[in-house]
């Protein structure tokens, strides 16, 4: 998994959001980006993480952060997830796994004794210059905003 490190230039991603609009890292030039990768819409851990970010979204905005979530789910799945939980941020549909592979977060996982390929829950905090300031591996889904704010004061 992952060959990116803190201090590296963040790979310039490009993907479709929940409305089919193309979104790129370059759209956020001059802003701090919370780029979080999660395994699947509407699963317990992913929902807890998204709702924690939603519940603390105003705190993130006050600090000048832009939040972008990425999974391999479809645009339609993202639309339903956003509507169901009233998520105020962009989710990118990376069905071809281009972004997850760019960031090195897709690979072998194990659960209940089974091995499979999937997204390793990871968050990249990208500064205004497009440099990876922090990488949070295995974020605490229920307290993710607090982790971000603690790292990025």
pLDDT tens for each residue of 51-84: 999 999 999 999 999 999 999 999 999 999 999 9
For the purposes of burial, counting CB atoms within 10 Å of the CB of 9, is it exposed (0-12), middle (13-18) or buried (19 or more)? exposed
* Domains observed in the chain: 14-151 (3.40.30.10)
Q: What is the DSSP letter of 79?
A: H
Catalytic residue annotation: 46
Task: Give the model confidence (pLDDT) of 90-99 as tens digits.
Answer: 999 999 999 9
pLDDT per residue rounded down to tens, the chain (153 residues): 568 999 999 999 999 999 999 999 999 999 999 999 999 999 999 999 999 999 999 999 999 999 999 999 999 999 999 999 999 999 999 999 999 999 999 999 887 888 989 999 999 999 999 999 999 999 999 999 999 999 876
């Amino acid at each position: 998994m992952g060959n990116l490190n803190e201090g590296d230039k963040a790979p310039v991603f490009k993907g479709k959001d929940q409305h089919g609009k193309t979104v790129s890292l370059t759209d956020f030039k001059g802003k701090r980006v919370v780029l979080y990768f999660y395994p699947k819409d509407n699963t317990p851990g992913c929902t807890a993480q998204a709702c924690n970010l939603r519940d603390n979204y105003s705190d993130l905005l006050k600090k000048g952060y832009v939040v972008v979530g990425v999974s391999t789910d479809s645009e339609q799945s993202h639309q339903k997830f956003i509507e169901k939980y009233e998520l105020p941020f962009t989710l990118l549909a990376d069905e071809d796994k281009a972004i997850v592979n760019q960031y090195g977060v897709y690979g072998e996982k194990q659960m209940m004794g089974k091995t499979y390929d999937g997204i390793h829950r990871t968050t990249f905090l990208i500064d205004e210059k497009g440099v990876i300031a922090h990488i949070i591996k295995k974020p605490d889904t229920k307290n993710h905003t607090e982790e971000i704010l603690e790292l990025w004061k």
